[in-house]
Structure 1
Amino acid sequence: MNLGDFNDLEVAREVDFGMYLSSDDGDLLIPRKYIPAGTHVGDVLRVFVYRDSEDRLIATTLEPYVRVGQFAALSVRDVSTTGAFLDWGLEKDLFLPYRNQRRNVRPGERATVFVYLDETTDRIVASAKWEWFLKTDPFPGKAGDAADLFVAEETDLGYKMIVDGTHQGLVYHNEVFRPLRLGDVLTGYVKQVRPDGKLDLSLQKPGYDEALAASEALLTYLRDAPNGLLPLGDKSEPDDIYRRVGMSKKVFKKALGALYKQGLVHLAPEHTQLLNQAE
């Protein structure tokens, strides 16, 4: 049986409060509220197996946000003297011990973690030191390859990404033209494999013009803005531009120019207006 994962287990017997499923580690309970209607003794159920608050094996048909051996961005429910407790979609929260934290976390924030089975306690735990669980061998891909990216952390330089679930890479802030949130999964592209083995990444296909990507993102912001009016223009401060649309002023001006040439916007020093919504 795989603890912290899904298992196909046979119903051994029924009791008032649920059913017991047979496994190599002994019978375990699935509470009645999780039993699909029409289930009988002898049926096989696909269940997720973990430990309850008293460390007993228990089964559920709920789908957790993460399983053992996976990365996830989870919300902190509570903290105690021993660690933090994360919401992973099940009744009993996932434990994040202090020893597995890089800094103290607070209730309500999200943290990227790797989930594993502690060999000493046989408990499912999380670690915010997620880099420790990436592969150390060279990345098997090359520049130009598409890859699955998991947004793991925001830094001063950009966003740290987990690439294909195995390696670490970075997308620089000035190349991000849409809001990103911890835990987002998206397709990206390898720009460069650095000598230290880490990867420079892009959210645009190789050769895709930066101004074109930025103009498409800016057009989305304008369409979502009230009356198609965005309070940013050629004279806006760089910090205000970056805070609102996540672009450097240089990239923002390129995007404005591209939209203006297409006849889509009216430009003013402090704002930009979609022409089809202008008065």
Structure 2
Amino acid sequence: MKFNGQIVTAHVTDHNEKEVFAQYDGVTLAIDRQELHALPEVGSELAGFAYENKHGEARLTTRLPKVGRDHYAFAPVVEVRRDLGVFVDIGLPDKDIAVSEDQLPELNRLWPQRGDRLMIALTTDKKDRLWGNLADETIIQAVANRAKPDQMNADVTATAYRLKMAGTRVLTDDFYLGFIHPSQRDVEPRLGQVLHARVIGISDQGELNLSLKPRAYEAIGDDAAMILAVLQHDPAGKIAYTDKSDPDAIKQVFGISKGAFKRALGHLLKAGLIKEEAGYTILLKTNGNASQET
């Protein structure tokens, strides 16, 4: 079917209890009657998206899919086939679209998994079969916005669209370009993986530099977070307890052992959130955690 994946206007020829039939370019297309508000008359015109479903049957749907031959959009991955590629859902009721393994990373561990998403448009091969075509850098650049200075330290949700040795390129949900250097991740993201990152810089080109690592105060653990909260609520931003304090006093005030207290202080010191001085633990000025220290 040479017009597979195109929007066409077909002429209604017949119908039954479940389907309406329309003809275009000598091909009879079936339409689900439930899509239609009213039964069209024979001879009238009906516009929709023409395609062959997974059984090879010619279909027409008035519910246009998210993507088209010239229209790129994100589509969720619904199946992974190591011998073929991955399949994505573009909104058709009885067909998913394959993205060939030729467009996927060489390493299988970096292939998209179910629930990831790929920005694609539709294309056809020599046999007029529909395939998903990944958006290249030119397409991504065309839809992207220029980042603003006030986005520093913001949390963003982004999708990995290109994997390179130098790092991972992503597009945020707000259509800003982002880059994740290998030093700002623990594991390399998959193609199509949806990531939760934070902005750590903005390039001269208006792209976001992102990190997948938590902020220091987000990675310190429950005991350290509790001590940090006590420091933040103290008017002077300090407490008269250090790793040298009496174990019973620590237990009475904080409800944890001296060992746990020392480990928690160690995390806070390593994160650069506190210092110990003259028998006090003192809160340092950090992003979003300013003490009263001058």
TM-score normalised according to structure 2 size: 0.49
Amino acid in the other structure paired with 1:255: G
- Aligned 8 A contact 1:96 1:127 in 2: yes
Match of 1:24 in 2: 25
Give 1:51 deviation, angstroms.
1.3
TM-superposed CA distance for 1:94, in Å, is 1.0
Name the residue aligned to 1:38: 38
* Alignment partners' CA distance in 2, 1:89 and 1:140: 22
Over 3 Å counting, the alpha-carbon distance change for 1:172 and 1:87 in structure 2 is same
SS in 2 for 1:99: helix
Match of 2:98, SS state, is: strand
Name 1:108's counterpart in structure 2: 114
Which deviations, in whole Å up to 9, do the C-alpha atoms of 1:25-80 show, x marking residues without a partner?
533111334x3132222444442222112333311234434333314242232425
**CA offsets, 1:158-212, max 9 Å, x none?**
64239999xx94345899xxxxx7499xxxxx9534xxxxxx4149xxxxxxxxx
1:74 and 2:86 are equivalent in the alignment: no
In the alignment of these two chains, the number of paired residues is: 204
1:94 match: 97
- Match of 1:235, SS state, is helix
Deviation at 1:8, TM superposition (A): 4.1
Identical amino acids, percent of aligned pairs: 15
1:134 alignment partner, SS class: helix
TM-score, structure 1 length as denominator? 0.51
Equivalent residues of 2:123, 2:133 under 8 A apart: no
Aligned AA (2:204): Q
Provide, for residues 232-268 of structure 1, a one-character-per-residue CA deviation record: whole Å limited to 9, x for no partner: 9592866xxxxxxxxxxxxx932333xx79xxxxxxx
Other structure's SS at 2:114 match? coil
Q: Distance in 1 between matches of 2:96 and 2:289?
A: 47
Amino acid at match of 1:77: E
Q: CA RMSD in A?
A: 5.1
Equivalent residues of 1:11, 1:45 under 8 A apart = yes
Unpaired runs of 5+ residues, structure 2, are 149-156, 185-192, 197-201, 210-216, 219-224, 229-266, 272-284
Unaligned regions of 5+ residues in structure 1, if any?
Answer: 176-180, 185-189, 194-199, 204-217, 222-229, 239-251, 262-279
Instruction: Tell me, yes or no, if the aligned pair for 1:73 and 1:183 is still in contact at 8 Å.
Output: no
